[in-house]
Structures are given as C-alpha cells and as structure tokens.
Structure 1
Amino acid sequence: MKKNLLAQPFLKWAGGKRQLLPELNKYIPLKYKTYYEPFVGAGAFLFDLQPKKAVINDINSELINCYNVIKNSLDDLVEDLKRHEISSDYYYNIRELDRKPEFNELSAVQRASRIIYLNKTCFNGLFRVNSQGQYNVPYGNYKNPKVLDEVVLKAVHNFLNSCDIIISNQDFEEVVRDAKKGDFIYFDPPYDPVSDSSSFTGYSLDGFSRDEQRRLKSVFDRLNKKGCFVLLSNSSTDFIKDLYKDYRIEIVSASRSINSNALKRGKVDEVLVMNY
C-alpha cells in the first residue's frame, strides 16, 4: 500500500517527534509484524511509518477520543470544527467547559472538536492540564489559526480505516502484554527531566516519575526476552543512560520547538535505545 504523505499529526504536542523522524527512520527494523506505540501522542512516527497493522495507545483519554472520532465520525467532526470562533472570550468559554458539569454531556465529537480547537488557538500549541485534569493553557492570539485542516483529517481518517489499527486508552504496560516475537514496539514516554524546571509532564494527571521510568525499563526487558524489536527515545540524562546501559544507545540531536522560553528552544541531546 502506497504511503499517504498527507497523513500527519493533527495536533501539536509537547515532545512531538517530527524533528526526530530522520534519526528514527535509520533504526526501523527491516521486517516486523505488529507495530505498537504505547505513548502515541500526536503520532508523528506512526504517520511516517504507516504500518499495515498497529496498536496505538495513550493514557490521555481526550487525545484517544480524537483518534476514535477521526476514525469513526469524521464528517460530524468537520461540521463541528466549522462552528468555532476565533476570539479570546470564545476561547476561554470553550476552555472552561471541563470545569463545569455539562462537560460530561458533550458528545465524543464535541469533545474532540474542543481539543482540536484549543490546540490550534492556544499559546504555542500546547496540550496541558492542571492537577484537576483541567485544560489550562492561555489564549494564543494568532491572526489566522487553521482550526480545520480537512485535508490532514481526511488523510488520517483514511489511514486509520485502511490499515488494521487498534486504538487503546490504558497503561503502557497493559497495552504491550500481548506483543509477540517479531513485533516492533516504539516507546516515547514523557522524558526524564534534564533539569528540575524542565519537567513537562503536564499532559497526564499522574506525571511520569523515575519509578515509572524504572517500570518502563522492566517492560522493555520483558519484551526483549520475548524476541520483540524495542526502540525507546528519552532525554540524554545520566539516569536514563545508566538505566539502559545493557542495550544499544545512540545519542541524537533533536530540535525542540515547544518551550515558553524561546532561548530553550533549539537542539538538545536525546537517546535512542534499542535491543537490536
């Protein structure tokens, strides 16, 4: 099946992998069976790879709802996206919905439309929630944000329906439980913070501590024993390099565009860890 180049991330996402794709592409196994991505985020690698058979997952239920709606209810989503207004007052009304009881009455389509709208019009294209799980990014004040990118949404819809793609919303450990020998798993967890202030784990309520990084390493070990191909990206901290010292580690340089401090956007070292 020919790759559809229009299928690409429909959201901007902290830790998105678009800049890292040239490096990731160097390390794709020549042959694999099912592709697993337990921290799919905006799906840059998924849409670049376009595997025929995949299981994609994220702990963020609002994000996974977007994937399901694009797959199953695209026409309704497009219609709903057309009704949004570009103004600060309207933005904050939509943003505040998750603080109100009527949020639970929104349909899956309305929820997906809300997330896409907020993502396209908020400051610097962040998805971030506070400790109560409420969206808390300020308005971006852009002149002409593209809230509805019908071409991309349609291409993503076609990809999700033309291939065998399972969309899941659970813990990363659960989602790879059935992975078998010859399957390819790509882990892109929330990164180990390079400094105390750089921790960006605001897109899921529970954060991702070093204990979680260690739990991920033990899942990596189990998949390795099963004969899966396992690839992981993370920040190039001493903690991560020590954790995975028994595996192949490649240091790569990635551009980081999402940071409220412009000086901190730019090249940072990351690691790619693999068992092959």
Structure 2
Amino acid sequence: MSKNKLIIPFLKWVGGKRQLMPSIKENLPNDINKLNYFEPFIGGGAVFFDLQPKKGIINDFNSELINVYQTIKDNPEELIENLKLHINDSEYYYNIRSLDRSEDYNKLTNVEKASRIIYLNKTCYNGLYRVNNSGEFNSPFGRYKNPNIVNETVLKAVSNYLNKANIEIRNDDYADILLNIKKNSKSFVYLDPPYHPISETSNFTGYIQGGWDIFDQIRLKEVCDTLNDNNIKFLLSNSASQQIMDLYKDYNIEIVRANRFINSNPNNRGEVDEVLIKNYE
C-alpha cells in the first residue's frame, strides 16, 4: 500500500509528534515495514498516519477520541454532513461544550459525539483538548476567524485507509494491548504516553481524566521491560525529566528538541528537551 499524503492527523492534540517525525524516523527499526504496528496511546496519530502500516492495533484510554476514529472509519459521510451544521460562534460553542454536563449527552449518536469533539477541537482556545476531573471538556472558545471545521478531503482519506488496511481500533488499558503481543512476534510498539512533568508547575495531563503520575510511569516502564524480555521492539517518547532518564537508564536514550505550542500555561510553550527511548540499536 503506497503512502497517501492526504492521510494526516485530523485533530490538534497535546504533545503531537508531527514536527518530531524526522527524529522519530531516524530511530525506527530498519525493518519497520515488515512489523505489525502497535500504538496504545494514539492521540492525534501523527506517527501512525505518517507510517501508514498495513497491519496493527491503535488504542487510547480516551473513549471520546476512539469514538472519533471509529466513526471516521465507519460513517465518514454522515460525520462530514454533521460537521457542516456547526457554526463558529461563542454562544453556540459553549452550548455544544456543555452537552457532556447534561443527560442530553447520552442521547447523542456516535456520529454526533464525534462531530462534537472535532468541532470543539477546531474552535477551542489553542486547540487544547482538556477535560476536568469529571471528564468534562473545559477549554474556552478560541475566537478564530475561519477554523477548518470540515476537512472533508482528509477525513475521507483517513477513512479509506482505515478500511483498506488491517487496523484494529481499541479503547482499553494500554497494558491489555501490549501484554498480549506474542513473544518473538514480528511486532513494533510506539509509545507516546502522557509526559512526566519537568517540574511541579509544568504538570499538564488534562486530556486524560485524572491525569498521570510517577506511579503510572513506573507501571509503563515495567510493561516495557516485559516487551523487551519478549523480544518486542519498542520506541517511547517522553519528557527529558531526570525521573524518566533514571527509569530507562538501561535502554538507548536520545535527547531531541521539540517546539511545544499547546500548553495551558503560555510560559511553558516553546522549545523543550524530550527523549526517544528504544530497546534496539
């Protein structure tokens, strides 16, 4: 299957990897095209859409996000028509945003729920997908003059790819995905978990209800150890925090520079150090 340049992320996502793709590609296994692909923290899918694997599993714990992927695969035309109904207006925006705070939300179809998330993502402040501890979307209106709410060409291209390739879309705990990969199978895992904060004030994991902490990072490292023991190749992205560097000291670590423009605190935007960690040469 040849790569289609129209297959690109359809959502703006915290920690998106589009600008880091050159560094990520340099660190991929040489036989990447022959391996089954697993991405358990799919997010905006920049790496996935760039590689366009023929077979694999994508997953995220965020059920709203996974519903968007599934809807694009199953009902692209209906989704596009629903997106055309939205308007770029502050009052309308807050009405749509508030739906997850009422019983009316449960009356929405999967298409309407997916359309809502795409609309909010395209029109909210700084493209910041953020939920509170109750799982309610809480980013303010962005006041863009002409947001691209209905990117019909991209949505159709992504839908076509998801239907032609052998891609399974899951909404599970990442460990349930990874610990079921067969030992010594020809598989590759790309991991882009919520980043560990460099400092207490920079902690931002608001796109996951409840957030992540160091114990989540330790659990992930233990799963990576199991992948390594099972001879499964993995590449992991994270912040260049000392805790992460210490945690993965037995693996190959490369520091890369990334520009981060999406953050709840404007002072935390800009060029930052991140790491790429892998268990192969």
Deviation for aligned residue 1:125: 0.3
Distance 2:35 2:17 in 1: 22
User: Bigger CA drift: 262-271 or 223-232?
Assistant: 262-271
Preserved CA contact (<8 Å) 2:179 2:226: no
* Match of residue 39, structure 1, among 32, 38, 41: 41
Deviation for aligned residue 1:54: 1.2
Normalising to structure 1: TM-score of the pair? Answer: 0.98
User: 1:125: which partner in 2?
Assistant: 127
User: Unaligned regions of 5+ residues in structure 2, if any?
Assistant: none
Preserved CA contact (<8 Å) 2:202 2:268: no
Preserved CA contact (<8 Å) 2:71 2:114: yes
Amino acid at match of 1:29: P
Which aligned pairs between 1:1-276 and structure 2 lie closer than 5 A? 1-31=1-31, 32-180=34-182, 181=184, 182-276=186-280
Q: Which runs of 4+ in 1 moved over 6 A?
A: none
Distance 1:191 1:224 in 2: 21
Distance 1:30 1:267 in 2: 29
* 1:71-95: CA deviation from partner (whole Å, max 9, x where unpaired): 0000100010000011000000000
Distance 2:234 2:269 in 1: 29
Preserved CA contact (<8 Å) 2:175 2:223: yes
User: Bigger CA drift: 254-263 or 163-172?
Assistant: 254-263
Give the total of aligned pairs: 276
Distance 1:263 1:207, change over 3 A: closer
User: Unaligned regions of 5+ residues in structure 1, if any?
Assistant: none
Deviation for aligned residue 1:264: 3.0
Normalising to structure 2: TM-score of the pair? Answer: 0.96
Aligned CA-pair RMSD: 1.0
* 1:165-219: CA deviation from partner (whole Å, max 9, x where unpaired): 0000011100112213220001100000011121111111131110010000000
Distance 2:72 2:48 in 1: 15
Give aligned-pair identity as a percent.
55
